[in-house]
């Protein structure tokens, strides 16, 4: 019976050792879980901050694009008006040259 008791004691010692090893593994795993949760929370906070920054940049960009589009419209209208002025100036110049040419053919303006 002593031998059986020694075998039983050996099993018991191994069982206790295995349980202790499992407890150590659980503690290590628990530390890793806590670290992962902290990293997750940190990343979620960074995502929130970056999302807010992205929203601000997008709003700013939208305003700038709208301003640029308005400037493009004003520029196009101004260039079109300027082209009409140039066209009118050219027409006026041509008419003036023609009239001056006609005046040169009148007898009163001819020089002797």
Q: What is the pLDDT of residues 66-84, one digit of tens each?
A: 999 999 999 999 999 999 9
Which residues 6+ apart lie within 8 Å of 103 measured at CB? 109
Q: Is residue 48 part of a domain?
A: yes
Domains: count for the chain: 1
Four-point Cα dihedral 71, 72, 74, 77, nearest 10: 170
Contact 98, 92 (CB under 8 A): no
Q: Is residue 103 part of a domain?
A: no
- Of 6, 10, 29, 30, the C-alpha closest to 18 is 10
Domain range enclosing 62 = 1-70
Q: Tell me: pLDDT of 111 over 60.
A: no
Tens-digit pLDDT profile for residues 81-97: 999 999 999 999 999 99
Confidence of residue 110 (pLDDT cuts 50, 70, 90): low
Q: Is residue 79 part of a domain?
A: no
User: How far apart, in whole angstroms, are the C-alpha atoms of residue 29 and residue 37?
Assistant: 12
pLDDT (0 to 100) of residue 102: 84
Q: Which position has the token pair 């593994």? A: 25
Q: Is residue 24 part of a domain?
A: yes
In the chain, DSSP assigns E strands to none
Reading the block at residue 34, the tokens are 């806590």
């Amino acid at each position: 019976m002593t031998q059986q008791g020694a075998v039983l004691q050996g099993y018991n010692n191994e069982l206790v050792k295995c349980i202790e090893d499992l407890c150590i593994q659980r503690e290590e795993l628990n530390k890793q879980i806590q670290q992962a949760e902290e990293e997750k929370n940190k990343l979620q906070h960074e995502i929130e901050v970056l999302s807010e920054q992205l929203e601000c940049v997008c709003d700013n960009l939208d305003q700038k694009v709208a301003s640029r589009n308005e400037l493009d419209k004003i520029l196009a209208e101004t260039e079109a008006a300027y082209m009409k002025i140039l066209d009118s100036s050219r027409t006026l110049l041509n008419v003036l040259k023609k009239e001056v040419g006609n005046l040169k053919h009148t007898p009163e303006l001819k020089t002797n």
